[in-house]
Chain A
């Protein structure tokens, strides 16, 4: 019963996506009301399913539901195992996806009403939900990669939603580049785990979350830990990948809220939480995770204070909290990190959904306070003027992350690409 319920929860948005795609492919563009109701019904069913599953697990004293689905495919001694897992880590995140996704979807019915991309938006919302639920309920890293990549692609397509303007299209490519480079870490980590014995979480991480242990040992722990950290940093906009999140705010506000306030941005932290025993088994990885998180949090909180638009400011605020969550994971506080994720996701979704009304809200607050809203940033007045100026510039330049990536990676790679074109054995490029 619980196994079937778990599979149904994940399948609902996937089936909705396929049904809507087929309708469009055969030439029928469903009316807005139909699309909205179908999607709403899907989210209601998912939410009810999660509630029922949680109740069944609590009533029967079950800590985790594990569904082995056999092999997806195999060749020689290599196989791609399929397994699902709902435990104390994944179930809260599945519930978060269902509830916040449903709220963002409901908000979007009005937000993208009569927009040319209305259908495309809901199609991608369903695909994204399917990807996120697949990633959270994956019982093996192979399946997790599947869900992870779907979330990445839908995220990029929604950043380019207002594609008539060049900037969203350019930023979508930039974000996609970040994702793809970071995802190499995940692919290589899956190989290390495969080499270490299994990509299934049950044999790899015995026990129940958060009291699991790691079966990996020796250099494999270190390699897997660092590769997972690269992938997680890419997804959660941390460390060298910190530059993409403000660019991702080009998408519609409801998608920003569900992707960068709630689900997608926390997927990296989820990956680290899932492999927390591996991270803790390699002290160097744990220390690096903490350092990456704290440095990103410091940079982002300064950048947040000088951001000139509300969505960029919220993007840096998200990055700050994710930095702290990374630090909590690195320091070995997985329960705290999970609560932090849930609290942050709810607050940030609310803030992003209210972002278009920010001035209105501010005026209301101002009036309610009798016109006496306190000044913010007074703490910084105690700093020396030179340092304050430096911090201001550091914030405006977003910690120089983008500039350094541009200088150290983008420009040299493009130069190399042109050189390849000019060489006698090159491509004859005329760039």
Chain B
């Protein structure tokens, strides 16, 4: 029923930390009543999926993570999350039937593309970012269950098909990464910018897995953590600001909040720079490995990923200066800087990203066995 190997334990451990950080940093209104229910479902479902030894247990965990979203006003996120479950169930039913292996593989890939918001099935994610509760959404997306499904079940079950078709997935991921990075340059709403950053940077994980090289796969698995922690940090800081002054959602131009909340500005900046690979952070390590793996796999892939990162970095800095710079906002009353619980949570994110960047060998060692196994499977050894 459960399979607690290094991949599962490392993923479970990092998700529990991520969950604790999100809950500690979430405004009270996001962790009361239905918000709390969402957070508990996400924790239970994700841990169940990570620990699953068979596909049905994984499906149960997956279902639990999307269960809170079965109702609500937002049609596109609800539909996409429900729709992603259908091909997953089809794939699970056909997994052990060799004559339907192509259909099962295709169904799994469809589920992965939907869940990860890969182009052209990314349409729901920005709606979700714009309207859903951000702390729970950050956990839902940063659990990367689509990627986990690929690593844990799809590649081991269909190594030949995966080796043949992963390049297609990789090109779709690459398209997502570049298109969303370009779209981010003209976006004005902070929530949607965060969504575009997640889509673009998050798709690197699939692109890296498809390089079939050990450094590319290790880079993808490390980048998984970078996106999870850095995006959680960015989303949580933004949500903290939003809870203090809701006008930032609609107001255009410079918000000038840095003068009110300098610590939140610093946390936001560090998480943002880690996301786009600033040296001294884990993001730099992940992207160094990813770029080298990608260039080895295909020159165009290796050029497109740094380009997408560069564009995302520009968008990130634009969001940073929009939120924190400009004249001190006179319409904003005196708002508190990072509160004690927030400070602890954000410090934990920063420590993880910076410590991981200064001493990455330990984290790479945690991911290395999985990367070696995947590279072997994909190269047919």
Contacts and interface: CB of A to CB of B under 8 A. Distances in A.
A76 B213 contact: yes
A163 interface: yes
Interface string A413-431: 1101110110001111101
A166 interface: yes
Interface residues of B, number: 64
Contact of B182 (A180, A417, A428): A417
B131 interface: no
A389 B20 CA distance: 67
A426 to B, nearest CB: 7
B179 interface: yes
Given A169-B326, A173-B318, A176-B317, A78 B289 contact: yes
Contact of A75 (B179, B215, B273, B317): B215
Interface string A172-197: 11001100110110011001001000
A163 B320 CA distance: 11
Contact of A160 (B284, B309, B311, B321): B321
Nearest to A417: B186
Contacts of B360: 72-73
A431 B182 CA distance: 14
Contact of B219 (A75, A116, A142, A414): A75
B6 interface: no
Interface string B272-313: 010000111000110011011101000000110011011101
Given A73-B360, A191-B302, A426 B291 contact: no
Interface in A312-343: none
Contacts of B291: 187, 191
A153 interface: yes
A72 to B, nearest CB: 7
Contacts of B285: 73, 80
Given A163-B325, A194-B292, A188 B306 contact: yes
A145 interface: yes
Among A76, A163, A428, which residue has the most Cβ atoms of chain B within 10 A?
Answer: A76
A146 to B, nearest CB: 4
Contacts of A164: 256, 259, 325-328
Interface in A138-159: 142, 145-147, 149-150, 153, 156
Given A142-B288, A425-B123, A75 B364 contact: yes
A10 to B, nearest CB: 13
Interface in A375-431: 413-414, 416-418, 420-421, 425-429, 431
A252 to B, nearest CB: 15
A172 B317 CA distance: 9
Contacts of A413: 182, 185
A326 B259 CA distance: 42
B6 to A, nearest CB: 16
B375 interface: yes
Given A78-B289, A188-B306, A426 B183 contact: yes
A418 B186 CA distance: 6
Among A180, A181, A416, which residue has the most Cβ atoms of chain B within 10 A?
Answer: A180
A25 interface: yes
Interface of B: 119-120, 122-123, 126-127, 179-180, 182-188, 192, 196, 213-215, 218-219, 253-254, 256, 258-259, 263, 273, 278-280, 284-285, 288-289, 291-293, 295, 302-303, 306-307, 309-311, 313-314, 317-318, 321, 324-328, 347, 360-361, 364, 368, 371, 375
9 contacts: A75-B219, A153-B273, A156-B317, A173-B314, A173-B318, A184-B306, A418-B186, A427-B126, A427-B192
